[in-house]
A and B are shown apart, each in its own frame.
Chain A
Amino acid sequence: MSVAAAFFYLFSAIMIASAFMVIAARNPVHSVLFLILAFVNASGLFLLLGAEFVAMILVVVYVGAVAVLFLFVVMMLDVDFAELRQGFLQYLPLGSMIGIVVAIELVLVMVGWTQADAAIAPAGATVQAGVTNTEALGLVLYTKYVYLFQASGLVLLTAMIGAIVLTLRHKPDVKRQVIADQNARTRAGAIELKKAPSRAGV
């Protein structure tokens, strides 16, 4: 068994086990940590395939941003997960039945799978020597796929506008620091002189 094959089985075994633990772990924080482990192993599998860009993006985006955000959400929200699980047994028969049906369908797809002749050629295409994944992506991203790239940008902009519209509340009473106002203060507006007579109290 080559080293690559050994690593493949190592990564896939850990990934499947941790994916199972994501749904099996009692503590939701542990679930998220197992999810991160699954992501890291998936990126290891991508590395074995020679897709180093996707591997790094998976770690940077999913582990670095998404999973950490999940962790924040899980820790911040006061969700009673024990209560959420209460219906688990009740829905188990129906849920597992749907699961079995889907599994049978997937097996059907796999068994009956054929590919069009046209699909074989691109699957075997290899990257030219001397061009890394990142370069290869850069060569097409802003040229061939510029339309899709711009469209994705607009989708993200829409998501941002939506998040702000639905959550931002302008509170007029909140005191904010305005440097210009601070600098524009003069002695006349800031200091009031009072004459306090001696022995008269205030």
Chain B
Amino acid sequence: MTSLSLALAHSLPEVTLALGALSLLMLGVFFAKDGRDWIISELAIVVLGLAFLQLFLGIGPKVVVWDGAFVDDTYGRFMKGLALIGSLVTLILSMDYMRREKIDQFEFPVLVLLATLGMLMLISAQNLMALYLGLELMSLALYVIAAFHRDNVRASEAGLKYFALGALSSGMMLYGASLLYGFAGTVSFEGLAAAIKGHATVGVVFGLVFVLAGLAFKMSVVPFHMWTPDVYEGAPTPVTAFFASAAKMAAVAITVRIIMTAFPGVTAQWQQIIIFIAILSMALGSFAAIGQTNIKRLMAYSSIGHMGFALVGLAAGTQQGVQGVLVYMAIYLVMTLGTFAGILSMRVGDTYVEKISDLSGLARTNGPMAFFLAAMMLSLAGIPPLAGFFAKWYVFNAAIQANLYPLAVIGVLSSVVACFYYLRIVKVMYFDEAAAKFARPSMAVSAVLMFASLLIVFFAFWPAPLDAAAAAAAKSLF
């Protein structure tokens, strides 16, 4: 095979998404009446599903194509699968919401496709330039869909805030990248690792810090989390689900990849940064969420905390730690999507409500929904035998194996604190006076909530497939 067809074959999901986004854009422009959604969302779901299936065609543990810009490996395919599931479910959740809020323009699924393409390119990035372009493609599309409800002041504010801070973080990351390039004379991750050879010079450390700061912004971990609550609250709910699910997968994936492939020689340097942000994120995620009354805001703090837990696995810096991160992200994805399906079911009449008090007495008005949401909350809190417990068990176990006892202890303590606000939601649903009854959610939303809950509840009986897939993925990175 020539190198071009080889490269195209290895980036088949990306090619599919790019061509799909372009064709759907044309279809929408020429055939969608008044710019309404028409069938573009459905077609976009088909394109995402196609890209997901193409991941299984991938062979070989690791192939680098496109002149060292793109790597196709088991690790990448695992994380791409998670990101694609996140996007796909986001689109399924969005259709009913967008139509009711009268923002069902055909550009939304197209932008989701482009953002997903950016995520896939980001996950597979093998040099700093590919990393930056993937990151920008993802972020630009995300800025726009955050402000997609343009007549809503809070959505516009969310979009603008995300854009301004995102541009700043991109600038910091580029500065770090330029320092790294100036030091090593190459932008490829492997070239960087070869040039560093275990000597942490000033240039490398500065570059590392700035690049990690830019990526930490995308992961929304402390101290780069300030935008998260406002953007999560202001953006349309399906968009928030997208931010909390697929976007996080890509950001965590590239952080793990760049640390493991470009900086394996300077473990002491990056490890202290990761430990620092992990501890701060876990603590802030646990304490700041306690006083929240808006459930989307609460989920924002919850996601900050969960990123902290996931980074505990990365801080271990071992293959077992990376496997823990992968398992954590997979379980976090299911919990987040399920919870947002629950939030999207909170509709009284024609208006979507977001207050925690709106859930009062849900057990009496809608028993099954209360049960599923309670399962989500208990799993997010990490209570056995639900999946969330195993996720935490994997990362803390890895941290202990790597002798990071204080980190593991702080993690367990903050997850105990976090239990408070998850359990409060369960208490509100089961023991408070009943509030207004929710309208019947669409079939798709209920199905996502139910399916996610079943996965969470029954994960304990059959963890082997995820465990094996994550182990194979982590192995390909080392």
Contact = CB atoms under 8 A, between A and B. Distances in A.
* Chain B interface mostly: helix
A147 B183 contact: no
A119 B147 contact: no
Given A113-B203, A144-B67, A151-B130, A119 B144 contact: no
Contacts of A116: 183-185, 195-197
A148 B129 contact: yes
Contacts of A1: none
A119 to B, nearest CB: 3
A112 interface: yes
B70 interface: yes
Contacts of B34: 170
B283 to A, nearest CB: 26
Contacts of A112: 201-203
Interface residues of A, number: 35
Interface string A103-123: 001001101111111111111
A145 B184 contact: no
Contact of B134 (A122, A151, A161): A151
Nearest to B103: A165
Contacts of A121: 185
Interface in A80-114: 105, 108-109, 111-114
Interface stretch (A13-21, A63-71, A152-160): A152-160
Contacts of A151: 121, 130, 133-134, 137
A164 B110 CA distance: 13
B194 interface: yes
Give the contact-size bracket for chain B.
35 or more
B141 A158 contact: yes
Given A116-B183, A154-B137, A162 B70 contact: no
Contact of A158 (B111, B194, B195): B111
B143 A162 contact: yes
B429 to A, nearest CB: 37
Which residue, A114, A151, A157, has most C-beta atoms of chain B within 10 A?
A: A151
Nearest to A122: B185
Contacts of A146: 66
A109 B202 contact: yes
Interface string B347-389: 0000000000000000000000000000000000000000000
A119 B182 CA distance: 7
A6 interface: no
B150 interface: yes
A158 B185 contact: no
B232 interface: no
Interface string B120-137: 010000000110011011
B141 A114 contact: no
A131 interface: no
Contacts of A122: 185-186
A158 B114 CA distance: 7
Interface of A: 105, 108-109, 111-123, 144-148, 150-152, 154-155, 157-159, 161-162, 164-166, 170
Given A118-B186, A123-B185, A150-B18, 11 more contacts: A114-B202, A116-B197, A118-B195, A145-B69, A146-B66, A147-B69, A151-B130, A157-B22, A161-B144, A162-B141, A165-B148
